[in-house]
Amino acid sequence: MKAIYRDGCPVCGGAISSDRLAKGLPCERCLPEEVPRDRLKEMNLGGPLGQYFKIEKEVEEAERVFHEVTKSVFWSAQRAWLIRALRGESFSIVAPTGMGKSTFGALVSVLFAKKFGKSYVILPTTPLVEMMYKKAKPFADILGVEVVKIHSKMSKGERKEALEKFEKGEFGVLITTSRFMINKLDELTKFKFSLIFVDDVDSVLKSNKNVDRILQLLGLNEEDLKELWNIVNKEKRIMRYLLNTNDPEKRLSFLEELEEIEERVKELRMKVNGILIFSSATGKVRTNRIAMVRKLLNFEPGGTSEGVRNVIDSYTREGFVKVVKALGKGGLVFVPADKGLSFAEEVARKLKENGVSAEVVSSERVNVIEAFERGEVSVLVGVATHYGVLTRGIDLPHVIRYAVFVGVPRLKFKLKMDEPVPRAIVNVLRIAVEVGFEEYAKIYKELAKRYRSLTQQAVEMLKERLMNGIVETDLEKLFMKGFEIIRNLASKPEFVERVRRSGFYEIVEEGGELYLLVPDSATYLQASGRTSRLYAGGVTKGLSVVIVDSEHLFNGLKKRLRWVIENWYPFEQLDLGELLKEIDEDRRKVLKVLRGELSTNEIRNLLKTSLLIVESPNKARTITNFFGRPSIRTVKGVRVYEIGLGNRILYVTASGGHTNDLVSDSDPLCIMEGGNCLYYGIEENGTQHLTSIKRCMVCGTQFSEEINRCVRCGSKYLKNSKEVIEGLRLLAEEVDEVLIGTDPDTEGEKIGWDVANLVNPFAKKVLRVEFHEVTKRALLEAIDNPRPFNFNLVGSQMLRRAEDRLIGFTLSPKLWFDLWPRYTNTPVACKISRNLSAGRVQTPVLGWVIKRYEEYKRSRKKFYIVSYGEGWRETFPEDSFGLKPTRKDVERSTVVVKYIERWEETVPPRPPFTTDSLLEEANEVLRLSADQTMKLAQDLFEMGFITYHRTDSVRVSDVGIALAKEWIAQNFGEELFVPRRWGQGGAHEAIRPTRPIDADELKLMIEEGTITTAKPLTNKHLQLYDLIFRRFMASQMREAKVRKLKLEISLEELEAIITKDLVEEIVEAGWTLVYPRIKVEVPPPEGSYSVKEVIVRSWNTVPLYSQADLIRLMKERGLGRPSTYAKIVSTLMERKYVIESPKQRKLIPTKKGMSVYFYLTENYSDLVSEERTRKLEELMDAISEGKASYDKVVRSVIEEVKWIPIKGSPLSNSL
């Protein structure tokens, strides 16, 4: 199994084999002999690979200087940052304290001053200027670079001397505060800086103007900045229009506008003198002017990894004193906000009485935090509020070990609100929608969206204005409208009763007033998160214990945190000894990092840099959103998201699907010469010749021909996967390992294999990771357990593509040049149609539609619709009578209803969905086409809501069973939960939800911002998710029991009898509570009835196929696979071989479709027969299981087609 990549050589950009790429070598033309990979650095190679080795040497030289000064080596992250800088890229560093950001800034500023020209380091405070100067000076002394510092605390003489050097430009590195930058901007812009390093960027960029000032230092003037700002806003508008239209003319117009914008941005980039590096521990840059940096310099600073959480969440009903004494020192104890500071003092007093050193922390008493850090205080006690001192104002990863909540953290609102408090308005409206007041869903959605966008200061200002009766802006009017709705709701007993019955909230009465208690999930996450902090080398493990004082509030807390927290553990079942041992070991590691006590080996192994390549940009965004707000940059057009996980810095990017496809070349003449022929990109020995894929941005056509314009519409606006590979190679240069995380099937394996081959020469290590659901847990498990590529799967997919190409490219021209002229009665020279295609699977499937259509036409029968009794009606087919009756005969007869038998029957639930059953049911229930369903399911998978949707397995994992148990127990009681595996073994699983969150709750969580999606979720997405969710939950529930009735209905005089079974009652609902799929019918009473009316109608008794029927048949008959079912059906529709009736959505073959089918089956039946197609599918499966050889099978396919003459080919005359 081998591939030749036409443009894959990392040196010359020419053709290269997969074998050479796997060894990290260039092609034979660039390097005739094979040498060990580690010797390549010594050779004078050109191209991208030569440039990579050149930068590697520069990094090694820099590391020698670094070691001389620090007696240490580069962290992996520092090495990656330096590679970026040496390539001339601007970027952002967001990393926790201890990661060496400042040391890196000192080194890189001196290096750039030595190599390229002056550097400027900007810091927010004088102490930081001094610290940076001390770090930079030793590097400068070794490299012979002048470093000048300027700040307000210098002596007059020092400052005068420094200012003189500054004014004369007698410096290599300048280090100042941001205030100096503001005051001396005009003088600073006279210099050309090769590098500007902004440390603690959050403080420096609090002002919009500082973004402008920094860009001016890089070389732009005020007019440039105005233009750049206009460009940013114009591009935003155009991109919105572009993404919302498929009209080719409009898309072309928008693309032309974007091209003009890019040309002007290129001109602005030419003015930029150097690179810009932002550095921060938190990355909380709020100014919107940062968008100019993103557009000009291709990066955007992110935030901290607040989603990186390593907390054991537990609960108990024990007393807090017992829990705290068992856990020891390093604890934070939180009391509910409604109980206030006085209760915190009572808790602290009780702890002291029981021998625990405890102190209360508040905004007036923060000094005790220092005593806590020194170990003089064992436990701090505070109030659980979102912006409280103990919740947000303390960050001691080496000290804090656990958190105890003395009561579920909650918010307390007066039900009949006296004052319009914004947070209360949003919370109570959410509850109203949740308990069934859907009429307020729209205003809640808008309020939640607007509230999320407000800063803490903006919320306080809004609250103050509303409470002072100032209602002027649209936002203030919106919140007042919400306030009035809540006051109205509070007076409705129905609302109060629904909230009480929900099981997630408490309503208490105090002083004759009703108060609503709501679990405060945001505060719980913030407060418990103090126990688990990111540091250079990992994420500290922490423990959280909730002492449950309200079952309803605890259930509500768990429900609101389902997306973030998968498991809650009973405190009593924890192995405290082992857990505390792990917690304390993490604290020792943190101290070691903070004190700089790590050895060289520990530094090298402590923190990895990893590049994760997935297929879809949506999936890439979803993954990084699990861990916080990522930094974003663009490398050669490839968008990459960067986030810190503690033990590694993870870059996540997307290949955009397939990067390579078979070339179109074919040389049938060599058949005569006995050479190793090339058949549409495939050699006779099975070697595939691949090239980059081009996609037209106007009409969406995808092709592999080596041309610069779209093969369909002629547009020059193409997206070439070659550029994606160039970007991925640059990213691979920076990291310790490349992780290929493409989809877990044969197609995903092949996509990943191509990417792995092409980046391998630039990567230190390439590994395959596999995850079947896009969740944080599944991702981290996959990253920790990489595997080698499965070449059996790769071979299976290569055969599928080869077979598609060989059959399609061989038979499709026959349709264009032979069938089409006959079909249209037009000479070939006048008209051909390239919109006809032949495929081995689509042809027999088309045949099924045609045959069923013929059966349908022959199946017309007459029926007698007989009305009798009190509105009863029965239909008798003509052949149920002995002799054909007239209408009068039937009208004179008597209807007799007779009950034959009654019995009870147990009805088990259906298994969870596989691909085929999902496509069937979505078509039947939601009226979605197969193609629509697969696109929606792909989105749901990539956004992390369902497991992988291309599967033929019904197996349910332990994780799936656990989440079903949680949801069923909470909503119906544990007695209805019946765990079922449905299948054993294998990596694949049935299609199921990834969280115990139903569609209604999912919608609410998205609207309130708890869940951020990579793309908007539509009603169709939610409907499909609801179908998947209910089917899965039903599969884990108790059987239903029904009462059935067999009855006989006859026309007595005519001896016509109909017998049927029906369900007359559901005795035990079981799984039908969530998935009602049993039809209950009321039978007509027993007895004899006169006929009231007879209607005679005729209709066809054999139904036409639907899309669901075709998919069911493909599964039954072994044609197609989960990854191809939808594509086969959609191809038949797109080619207009089949149309769908608008009302019944049944499939009808067209004249064109029938002509194509009969032409192919009459002339090439051996290639497109159902039996041969089934056999080939079985061979593909055999290859994927290692039971057959790709090379052997592909040769047999070539033998089938190679002698078929191809009219219209340039070589046809020679043949």
Distances (CA, A) of 343 to 324, 405, 513, 548: 16, 12, 22, 16
Q: What is the pLDDT of residue 834?
A: 67
Task: Give the separation between CA 21 and CA 756, rounded to whole angstroms.
Answer: 9
Domain 860-908+1041-1100 has CATH 2.60.510.20: yes
Between 205-209, 282-286, 649-653, the lowest mean confidence (pLDDT) is in 282-286
Task: Give the separation between CA 876 and CA 890, rounded to whole angstroms.
Answer: 10
Whether 51 has a binding-site annotation, put simply, is: no
pLDDT at residue 306 is higher than 70: no
Those residues with Cβ within 8 angstroms of residue 690's Cβ, 6 or more apart along the chain or in another chain: 3, 4, 5, 6, 8, 660, 661, 662, 663, 681, 754
Task: Give the separation between CA 976 and CA 1068, rounded to whole angstroms.
Answer: 11
Order of strands across the sheet with 379-384?
A: 358-360, 379-384, 331-336, 402-406, 542-547, 311-316, 569-570
The CA dihedral of 465, 468, 472, 473, to the nearest 10 degrees, is 20
The single residue listed with the structure tokens 């200087």 is: 65
Those residues with Cβ within 8 angstroms of residue 624's Cβ, 6 or more apart along the chain or in another chain: 630, 641, 642, 643, 650, 652
Q: What is the pLDDT of residue 284?
A: 66
**Which DSSP string corresponds to 31-88?**
-SS---GGGGGGS---HHHHHHHHHHHHHHHHHHHHHHHHSS---HHHHHHHHHHHTT
**By C-alpha distance, which of 1110, 1211, 1214 is closest to 809?**
1211
Contact predicate 1190/796, CB 8 Å: yes
Cα-based angle 425, 431, 437 (whole degrees, multiple of 5): 105
Identity of the residue numbered 56: E
Task: Kindly calculate the radius of gyration of the chain based on its CA atoms and give it in whole angstroms.
Answer: 35
Task: Give the separation between CA 488 and CA 483, rounded to whole angstroms.
Answer: 9
Task: Give the separation between CA 721 and CA 656, rounded to whole angstroms.
Answer: 8
Cα-based angle 708, 714, 719 (whole degrees, multiple of 5): 50
Domain 317-409+523-594 has CATH 3.40.50.300: yes
| Assigned CATH for 915-1038 | 1.10.290.10
pLDDT at residue 414 is higher than 70: yes
Question: What mean pLDDT is predicted for residues 766-771?
Answer: 97
Q: What is the pLDDT of residue 307?
A: 63
| Assigned CATH for 85-219+272-300 | 3.40.50.300
Query: In the chain, what are the domain boundaries?
Result: 85-219+272-300, 317-409+523-594, 419-504, 793-857+1104-1201, 860-908+1041-1100, 915-1038
Cα-based angle 171, 173, 177 (whole degrees, multiple of 5): 110
Which helix or strand (DSSP H or E) is residue 392 part of?
A: helix 389-392
pLDDT at residue 67 is higher than 90: yes
pLDDT at residue 207 is higher than 70: yes
pLDDT at residue 669 is higher than 60: no
Task: Give the separation between CA 215 and CA 217, rounded to whole angstroms.
Answer: 5
Q: What is the pLDDT of residue 531?
A: 93
The single residue listed with the structure tokens 């117009």 is: 253
**By C-alpha distance, which of 479, 592, 90, 92 is closest to 304?**
92
Which helix or strand (DSSP H or E) is residue 803 part of?
A: helix 791-814
Three-state DSSP class for 319?
coil
Task: Give the separation between CA 553 and CA 517, rounded to whole angstroms.
Answer: 8
Burial class (CB in 10 A: 0-12, 13-18, 19+), 640: buried
What are 1060-1106's pLDDT values in tens digits? 999 999 999 999 999 999 999 999 999 999 999 999 999 999 999 99
pLDDT at residue 859 is higher than 60: yes
Specify whether 1157 is catalytic.
no
Task: Give the separation between CA 206 and CA 208, rounded to whole angstroms.
Answer: 7
pLDDT at residue 774 is higher than 70: yes
Average pLDDT of the chain to the nearest whole number: 91
What pTM did the predictor assign?
A: 0.91
**By C-alpha distance, which of 153, 155, 148, 199 is closest to 178?**
199
CATH class for the domain made up of 793-857+1104-1201: mainly alpha
Question: What mean pLDDT is predicted for residues 396-406?
Answer: 94
Q: What is the pLDDT of residue 1009?
A: 80
Question: What mean pLDDT is predicted for residues 801-808?
Answer: 91
Between 230-234, 817-821, 1102-1106, the lowest mean confidence (pLDDT) is in 817-821
Going by pLDDT thresholds of 50, 70 and 90, the confidence category of residue 555 is very high
Q: What is the pLDDT of residue 593?
A: 78
- Here the contacts of 1140-1145 (C-beta below 8 Å, separation 24 or greater) are 1140/929, 1140/1107, 1141/1104, 1144/1104, 1145/923, 1145/927, 1145/1106, 1145/1107
Going by pLDDT thresholds of 50, 70 and 90, the confidence category of residue 988 is confident
Task: Give the separation between CA 650 and CA 1177, rounded to whole angstroms.
Answer: 38
Which residue out of 315, 717, 948, 1105 is catalytically annotated? 948
pLDDT at residue 454 is higher than 90: no
Task: Give the separation between CA 927 and CA 939, rounded to whole angstroms.
Answer: 18
Burial class (CB in 10 A: 0-12, 13-18, 19+), 827: exposed
State percent of the chain over pLDDT 70: 96
What are 272-304's pLDDT values in tens digits? 999 999 998 766 666 788 899 999 999 988 765
Task: Give the separation between CA 160 and CA 698, rounded to whole angstroms.
Answer: 62
Question: What mean pLDDT is predicted for residues 128-139?
Answer: 96
Question: What mean pLDDT is predicted for residues 873-893?
Answer: 92
pLDDT at residue 436 is higher than 70: yes
Q: What is the pLDDT of residue 677?
A: 81
Q: Do domains 85-219+272-300 and 317-409+523-594 have the same CATH topology?
A: yes
Strands 682-683 and 91-94: unpaired
Task: Give the separation between CA 240 and CA 229, rounded to whole angstroms.
Answer: 17
pLDDT at residue 110 is higher than 50: yes
Going by pLDDT thresholds of 50, 70 and 90, the confidence category of residue 833 is low
HSE, side-chain direction, 13 A CA sphere, residue 884? 5
Task: Give the separation between CA 967 and CA 1000, rounded to whole angstroms.
Answer: 13
Contact predicate 648/610, CB 8 Å: yes
Three-state DSSP class for 567?
coil
Three-state DSSP class for 1045?
strand
Q: What is the pLDDT of residue 963?
A: 94
Those residues with Cβ within 8 angstroms of residue 350's Cβ, 6 or more apart along the chain or in another chain: 320, 321
Exposure string (b/e) for 715-732, b if CB count within 10 Å is 16 or more? bebbebbbebbbbbbbbb
Three-state DSSP class for 303?
coil
The single residue listed with the structure tokens 């928008």 is: 254
Task: Give the separation between CA 553 and CA 544, rounded to whole angstroms.
Answer: 17
Beta-bridged to residue 545, according to DSSP, are: 314, 404
Can you read off the two tokens belonging to residue 939? 């989105």
Task: Give the separation between CA 1074 and CA 1085, rounded to whole angstroms.
Answer: 31
Task: Give the separation between CA 755 and CA 779, rounded to whole angstroms.
Answer: 20
Question: What mean pLDDT is predicted for residues 31-49?
Answer: 92
Task: Give the separation between CA 138 and CA 558, rounded to whole angstroms.
Answer: 54
Length of the chain: 1215
